[in-house]
Structure 1
Amino acid sequence: MQALAVPFYMNDLTDSNAWVGAAGFAALVPAVLATPLVGTLCDRMSRKRLLMASLSGQAVVSAIFLLLYLTDNLTPWRMLGLQTLTGLGGGFQWAPVQSLTALLVPPRDLVPAIRLVSMSFTAGRAIGPAGAGVTLAIWGPGPAFGVTFVGLAISVVILWSVQPRPAPVSGGEPFLQQFRAGMAYVRARPGMRLVLRMAFWVACLAAVFPSALAASVADDVFDTGGGGLGLITATFGLGSMVSAVYLARHGDRHLRSTTELVMASAYAIGLLLMGSTSVFVIGLVGYFIAGSAHLMHGTTLNSAIQVQVHEEYRGRVSSVWLMVILMGLPIGSLVGGILGDALSMRAVVLLFAGLLAVIVVMSAVRFDRFRLLDLDEPEVVAG
């Protein structure tokens, strides 16, 4: 919820798309820098301890957000500083979350477990802002900061009771050598490079509109303010929930290559609907389509990369996947915010939708309609 409360309050204070984009940029850049290093740590030490430290630190930052807001001392520059700390904490969270899965289930259940975790991870990033949008529209940012703090505190307590199997720890190599080995592992595998390519562009050109730039879309494209923001994020979350139900029941019916091609294209169509109309209801249809596509796209790519990695590289590979997403989001939010002030947010939505459509077509042609995503075991690489 905090992830949407900050740009909402920033927009309320400054009425500037550039400031809103900067808020997203400040949170995500530290995460981009920290995530690949944390992925290496995941392959060297306890993933549970790393996750505990991350959640605890983020809970402290959420408490500071709440305190400053309640005392009317939450200024734009202070928000940027706290967002930087939030991003640093997030950088220590996502790689351990992803790589813990293999230590909690027997090997025969790994594929469905990865799908479930992928759904939860992607749905949380969609449904959380949906709840935040409704909360912000009715009560404002304070409760959103409070709920974030409580949720993080509960997560720490739950994680304390979890007992994963010991992971194979590869601490013999120097840290930087191990880090470089992880990067080389990813570069040598075309299937993983395809996953990273699609993850970056969808994050940069599409996922920013239901997150960092959602308040700008509600305000500038549809002129609906806080109430519109709540409906936008709730509709996006509803689309994600519908996809989650479908995947839970029919996830094995479709090839991952087909799912990614269809869903990445659908994401672009949803954006085109948002940007091409002034009718708010039609814009909500676009957000519903985007929400459905978002969950299935994220689950498909995460499942593909997790089933194709050797266990001793899981932490590093998970961190690289997360890094490209976290790199795409701040770039998209900052560029989109600046262009939104210079042109209009409607023009930005249409421009990004067109670019995404072109990238999907070019990638489908170059990578044989994404067939590398269908591998269910680590790629065999010559040499």
Structure 2
Amino acid sequence: MIVPAPTSALRALSHRSFLLFFIGVSIATTGQFMQSLAVPFYMNEVTDSNAWVGASAFAVLIPSLFMTPVAGIWSDRISRKAILFGSFFTQLACSVAFLVLYTSDLLTPWLILGLQVVVGVASGFQWAPTQAMTAQLVPPEDLLPAVRFVSLSFTAGRALGPALAGLTLRFWGPGPAFAVTIAGFVLGLAFMVPIRLRSSEPVEQEPFLLQFRHGLEYVRRRPAMRLAMVTSFMVACVGAVFAFALVASVADDVVSFGDASLGWLTATFGFGSLVVGLYVTRHGDRHLRSRVEMAAVGVYAVGVLLVGFSPWVAIGLLGYFVFGAAHMAHGVTMNSALQVQVDEQYRGRVMSVWLMSVLSGLPIGSLIGGFLGDLVSMRFVLLLYGGLLAVFWAITVVRSNGFASLDLGSD
């Protein structure tokens, strides 16, 4: 496999199809993650239970986890654009259902869980083709900067969507957040229509389970990929969970200063992510991926512990800014490391395994954290999870030579 040489970061945007793809995915993802906060916010309002909030995240993430490997294999077999279209359209229909049921005052906790399951199935077919399409939209010499832009759209959407949702929920409630999600998917679909994909190498049509097993074996034989999967799981399980599924609980029980708490936490997290995302997109070539990831995981742990330890609101907000910045650096680094090391015929499956690592970590962390939050306190969960992430960081730095394998460019 040939590793693309360094190139101008902005040159990837000169390719019309990639530019349309980047804009469409960015808008849709931002709207999507507005809904991802509006749902647990409303669930918390209706039930006042951390366990119900955790269950709402579990209901969307577990189906997504199981559908992701299917999407990865399909992405290596059929049109990635068609898969993404189907995913966006199904999620659009669910967002319409959320809005109609909410405005009709019919949105009960059990209906929320049911809709979340459908959203989870549909979103499971979103991320693998989104990540894998990049190589079909730009020439090889522009792949690495294009990957960074896709990482920026994905990670920024996960950060800015909840940030905008926090402000929207503060002033107008869940209804407008659902409406913006609908608009995001409509615009995302519109930007996708003119996209033209480059041809890719055909993949041998093996039985589904055999093809997925070959993808897992491909990852297992490569230390850098194994490290990326384990690290992504840990960061999602005991770090990112506080930015998404459990942020409403943190705003309610830990960093609480009135109705504006949720909006400020999510906005601060989003601002930290945006600052680092803009820097990494333009200047990512200046730093080794291993150094960036080592700093990102360590800083992530510090940010979570800051929120857990501090009784002061200002320090809690600082903690969210810190691990928001770390979240973006981690996401871009993992995506870049995998994309430049994977062979094209395995791209969809490898990206699906990576996404499974993230999607398995989030529901596990949210469900356990929600129950522990009710049983002990959410501050205890922050300290426990932050400590676990710090221990993982220390062990990995020693055993994996400071994430050095992430710097590899080929096998």
- 2:374 aligned to which of 341, 347, 358: 341
Structure-2 residue corresponding to 1:69: 102
1:269-284 matches, within 5 Å, as 269-284=302-317
Structure-1 residue corresponding to 2:200: 167
1:167-188 residue CA offsets vs partner (Å, 9 max, x unmatched): 2231432222211111111111
1:92-146 residue CA offsets vs partner (Å, 9 max, x unmatched): 0000000000000001111111112112211111111111111111100000001
- 1:370 aligned to which of 391, 395, 403: 403
Structure-1 residue corresponding to 2:117: 84
Percentage identity across paired residues of the two chains: 57
Structure-1 residue corresponding to 2:346: 313
Is 152-161 or 69-78 further displaced after alignment?
A: 152-161
Does the residue aligned with 2:253 lie in a helix, a strand or coil?
Answer: helix
1:249-297 residue CA offsets vs partner (Å, 9 max, x unmatched): 3211110000001110000101111011121111000000010000001
Contact in 2 for aligned 1:215/1:225 (Cα 8 Å) = no
Q: Distance in 1 between matches of 2:202 and 2:123?
A: 23
Q: Quick one: structure 1 residues 312 and 165, their matched pair in 2 at CA, closer, same or farther if it must change by over 3 Å? A: same
- 1:214 aligned to which of 247, 251, 275: 247
Does the residue aligned with 1:208 lie in a helix, a strand or coil?
Answer: helix
Structure 2 unaligned regions, length at least 5? 1-33
Structure-2 residue corresponding to 1:143: 176
1:290-319 residue CA offsets vs partner (Å, 9 max, x unmatched): 100000011001100111000000000000
Q: Distance in 2 between matches of 1:118 and 1:376?
A: 18
Structure-2 residue corresponding to 1:254: 287
What TM-score does the superposition give when structure 1 sets the normalisation length? Answer: 0.97
CA RMSD of aligned residues (A): 0.9
Structure 1 unaligned regions, length at least 5? none
- 2:55 aligned to which of 11, 19, 22: 22
1:86-105 matches, within 5 Å, as 86-105=119-138
Contact in 2 for aligned 1:136/1:226 (Cα 8 Å) = no
1:314-344 residue CA offsets vs partner (Å, 9 max, x unmatched): 0000000001100000000000000000000
| 2:167 is the counterpart of 1:154 | no
Following TM superposition, by how much is the alpha carbon of 1:225 offset from its aligned partner in structure 2, in angstroms? 4.8
Q: Distance in 1 between matches of 2:361 and 2:250?
A: 19
| 2:148 is the counterpart of 1:119 | no
AA in 2 matched with 1:31: S
AA in 2 matched with 1:190: P
Q: Distance in 2 between matches of 1:367 and 1:298?
A: 19
What TM-score does the superposition give when structure 2 sets the normalisation length? Answer: 0.91
Is 152-161 or 190-199 further displaced after alignment?
A: 152-161
Does the residue aligned with 2:142 lie in a helix, a strand or coil?
Answer: helix
Q: Distance in 2 between matches of 1:145 and 1:225?
A: 23
Q: Distance in 1 between matches of 2:106 and 2:196?
A: 41
Is 96-105 or 147-156 further displaced after alignment?
A: 147-156
Does the residue aligned with 1:178 lie in a helix, a strand or coil?
Answer: helix
Structure-2 residue corresponding to 1:56: 89
Is 158-167 or 10-19 further displaced after alignment?
A: 158-167
Does the residue aligned with 1:251 lie in a helix, a strand or coil?
Answer: helix
Following TM superposition, by how much is the alpha carbon of 1:364 offset from its aligned partner in structure 2, in angstroms? 1.3
AA in 2 matched with 1:265: G
Does the residue aligned with 1:30 lie in a helix, a strand or coil?
Answer: helix
1:123-134 matches, within 5 Å, as 123-134=156-167
AA in 2 matched with 1:249: R
Does the residue aligned with 1:257 lie in a helix, a strand or coil?
Answer: helix
AA in 2 matched with 1:281: A
1:141-172 residue CA offsets vs partner (Å, 9 max, x unmatched): 00000100110111111111111112223143
Q: Distance in 2 between matches of 1:246 and 1:48?
A: 29
AA in 2 matched with 1:290: F
AA in 1 matched with 2:332: T
Q: Distance in 2 between matches of 1:88 and 1:225?
A: 35
| 2:37 is the counterpart of 1:4 | yes
Q: Distance in 1 between matches of 2:201 and 2:46?
A: 49
Structure-1 residue corresponding to 2:331: 298
AA in 2 matched with 1:61: C
Structure-2 residue corresponding to 1:41: 74
- Number of positions where the alignment pairs a residue of Structure 1 with one of Structure 2: 378
1:350-369 matches, within 5 Å, as 350-369=383-402
AA in 2 matched with 1:95: A
- 1:201 aligned to which of 221, 234, 243: 234
Following TM superposition, by how much is the alpha carbon of 1:38 offset from its aligned partner in structure 2, in angstroms? 1.0
| 2:240 is the counterpart of 1:176 | no
Q: Distance in 2 between matches of 1:169 and 1:153?
A: 31
List 4+ stretches of structure 1 deviating above 4 A. none
Is 222-231 or 274-283 further displaced after alignment?
A: 222-231
